[in-house]
Chain A
């Protein structure tokens, strides 16, 4: 006999879903405005480099919502603006980095834009080296086991990273010891200019999970609820000792790889397809349909986000560059003498 779910419970669930989708959407709107602002600043010559994850937003936000912020460890890659945004990093911080400012609280202006690091929010340190952070995630999960802690390590990487040896070595190590790791591949179909068909034999990153005896699932990168549920399930299974899993989120790459990439290897049609696969408008349509937002409110969100990013950019731009004489600071731990001197200042 089918069990009847009481109507009140159904209503409550629907309300929660609506409110979740609304939160995802609001972050996606801000992320998109930040993304646009970063590209504009680059074109104006105000910054020296940009690379963003336009098209990856929903996948990043919905998966990052599955973490316990400040407790679970996030190991994003450089395209993961929205992972960090969801975990509390502000656009202003990211813009300080984009301008290479000394007060950038992630790398003090040393790294390329969006190569974040935030120990307090438990966001690992992003490098440009593809796949490097996958092993760090596994190491952090091993540390949790050694220290008797319950944190889960979640790492994000692109489809290109799925071809790196380190990714497979790390997955094998995690699976062997049932470490608490969730591997999330944001598959946008392009490793800079090499398409998935020339990059991933068999065409599926998720299918590779089978080799490591872990669950592997492919999901639509625009399906916020589906991604949130799948990631939450994977995170909580990992926390409970069931070991790692792999999620492959299918997303479009709506922009060139970076500002230094002409994107000439994609046909106009391919680029058009990527733009048409933008996951943000469908989410907007869904919210309108659910009555979780109205057109006026929506327009206001976009306007406010544009103003927020523009103001944050202007504020960040006004900050000073790092002084040249500090170029070698932090190569090594400060000596006791240096520490004392800094404390005096």
Chain B
């Protein structure tokens, strides 16, 4: 074990998987010489050479498309997009190609590729470096969507994603890249399974269901709430697709109250799906309506007051939790 930041854990995950399997390749803008705009691939060019760490032109659609073609003929590409915001040009390839190849060929071809991108606001990145794009992809069958909330999970989940037989969208909350350190296993076969949520904190009064940066807000909020006598349980979903419905249900059955937290916009955000699941499957276990804390359906401003007004933080989560337990 060693204390690592999330970006270091991601870099190790990539390095270990490339070491283990020479069909693992990286494609993306600035991932070679520069080592990635967030340095997630730093040093990998030197270790694995320019063929396996391919600095591409600014062509997101071709990055995704080439990754898909390469995956169909035997590679395990990991495509990096500098920001989730810049995945949109690749949307067609991911949604209409990566997601459909296995189904449309009835299993004859498949796409074992990973599409990585940083997401989220709170870093003064304004409209085009702050978007939370995960829900776009959750709507599409054939894709898996993973959003780790810490360094160890980032490493274990990314390694699982690389070894997965299906396309995995891997979203990294950029605000978690360097802001904290966590013990991360050094074992080359340390894997965190895709599709399994994690019970991060136990508590009797409500279930906070969250992922990515939301986990940090939830933890901070839980500390505040504990001092007021409210015990929040926290479930880190970790994987949005496939959703660990059993873990969600188990927690909500224990507490009877569900608060969903994410930084993406509220309308049609992933929380809407979780809320619908709870309404459909756990209605009689609920003691109160399901609540959501999410971004206020707006673009992200460069200036700090407008940015903060839109996105969730710990105090907004705590505030919502107080209201929920008093309902």
Could you tell me which A residues sit within 8 Å of B by CB distance?
73, 75, 105-108, 110-111, 115, 117-119, 124-125, 127, 129, 132, 134-140, 142-147, 153, 165-166, 169-170, 172-173, 176-177, 328-334
Shortest beta-carbon distance, B8 to chain A, in Å? Answer: 26
The segment from B37-45, B94-102, B228-236, B306-314 that touches chain A is: B94-102
A173→B66 contact, CB < 8 A = yes
Contacts of B110 on A, CB cut-off 8 Å?
Answer: 333
B69→A140 contact, CB < 8 A = yes
A147→B74 contact, CB < 8 A = yes
Contacts of A147 on B, CB cut-off 8 Å?
Answer: 23, 74-75
- Give the distance in Å from the alpha carbon of A144 to the alpha carbon of B74 in the complex: 9
Chain B: how many interface residues by the 8 Å CB criterion? 45
Query: Which chain B residue has the least Cβ–Cβ distance from A120?
Result: B108
* A-B interface, 6 closest residue pairs, ranked by CB to CB distance from nearest: A135-B65, A139-B69, A136-B69, A169-B62, A139-B66, A108-B106
A124→B104 contact, CB < 8 A = no
B92→A132 contact, CB < 8 A = yes
Contacts of B277 on A, CB cut-off 8 Å?
Answer: none
Shortest beta-carbon distance, A324 to chain B, in Å? Answer: 15
Q: State whether the Cβ of B67 lies closer than 8 Å to any Cβ in chain A.
A: yes
Could you jot down 13 A-B contacts, CB within 8 Å? A73-B73, A105-B108, A115-B104, A117-B109, A119-B108, A125-B72, A135-B69, A136-B69, A139-B69, A140-B69, A140-B70, A146-B25, A165-B61
A117→B108 contact, CB < 8 A = yes
B108→A140 contact, CB < 8 A = no
Contacts of A173 on B, CB cut-off 8 Å?
Answer: 56-57, 59, 62, 66
Which one, A138, A145, A146, A330, contacts B107 given CB within 8 A? A330
B105→A176 contact, CB < 8 A = no
B97→A127 contact, CB < 8 A = yes
A176→B72 contact, CB < 8 A = no
Which one, A124, A127, A329, A330, contacts B96 given CB within 8 A? A127
Shortest beta-carbon distance, B71 to chain A, in Å? Answer: 7
A106→B62 contact, CB < 8 A = no
Contacts of B23 on A, CB cut-off 8 Å?
Answer: 146-147
Q: State whether the Cβ of B131 lies closer than 8 Å to any Cβ in chain A.
A: no
Say whether, besides A142-B66, A170-B66, A332-B166, A119 and B109 are in contact (CB < 8 Å): yes
Which one, B51, B56, B73, B105, contacts A140 given CB within 8 A? B73
Contacts of A136 on B, CB cut-off 8 Å?
Answer: 65-66, 68-69, 72, 97
Say whether, besides A139-B70, A140-B70, A146-B52, A125 and B65 are in contact (CB < 8 Å): no
- Give the distance in Å from the alpha carbon of A304 to the alpha carbon of B148 in the complex: 62
B70→A135 contact, CB < 8 A = no
Contacts of A132 on B, CB cut-off 8 Å?
Answer: 65, 92-93, 96-97
A127→B51 contact, CB < 8 A = no
Chain B, range 28-57, C-beta contacts under 8 Å to A: 51-52, 54, 56-57
Contacts of A143 on B, CB cut-off 8 Å?
Answer: 69-70, 73-75
- Give the distance in Å from the alpha carbon of A138 to the alpha carbon of B93 in the complex: 14
Which one, A75, A106, A172, contacts B59 given CB within 8 A? A172
Query: Which chain B residue has the least Cβ–Cβ distance from A110?
Result: B104
B141→A331 contact, CB < 8 A = yes
B103→A110 contact, CB < 8 A = yes
- Give the distance in Å from the alpha carbon of A73 to the alpha carbon of B72 in the complex: 11
Contacts of A170 on B, CB cut-off 8 Å?
Answer: 59, 62, 65-66
- Give the distance in Å from the alpha carbon of A58 to the alpha carbon of B277 in the complex: 56
Say whether, besides A136-B69, A143-B74, A176-B57, A127 and B104 are in contact (CB < 8 Å): yes
A142→B62 contact, CB < 8 A = no
Q: State whether the Cβ of B165 lies closer than 8 Å to any Cβ in chain A.
A: yes
Which one, B62, B64, B67, B106, contacts A329 given CB within 8 A? B106
Contacts of A166 on B, CB cut-off 8 Å?
Answer: 61-62, 65, 92-93
Chain B, range 151-166, C-beta contacts under 8 Å to A: 164-166
Shortest beta-carbon distance, A129 to chain B, in Å? Answer: 5
Query: Which chain A residue has the least Cβ–Cβ distance from B60?
Result: A169
Shortest beta-carbon distance, B233 to chain A, in Å? Answer: 29
- Give the distance in Å from the alpha carbon of A147 to the alpha carbon of B144 in the complex: 27
Other than A146-B25, A333-B166, give 19 A-B pairs with Cβ distance below 8 A: A75-B69, A117-B108, A124-B72, A124-B109, A125-B72, A129-B96, A129-B97, A132-B93, A135-B61, A135-B64, A139-B65, A143-B70, A144-B73, A166-B62, A166-B93, A169-B65, A170-B65, A173-B59, A331-B141
Shortest beta-carbon distance, B105 to chain A, in Å? Answer: 4
Contacts of B100 on A, CB cut-off 8 Å?
Answer: 127
Shortest beta-carbon distance, B62 to chain A, in Å? Answer: 4
Query: Which chain A residue has the least Cβ–Cβ distance from B164?
Result: A333
Which one, B59, B89, B109, contacts A125 given CB within 8 A? B109
Query: Which chain A residue has the least Cβ–Cβ distance from B67?
Result: A139
Q: State whether the Cβ of B142 lies closer than 8 Å to any Cβ in chain A.
A: yes
A142→B68 contact, CB < 8 A = no
- Give the distance in Å from the alpha carbon of A117 to the alpha carbon of B67 in the complex: 18
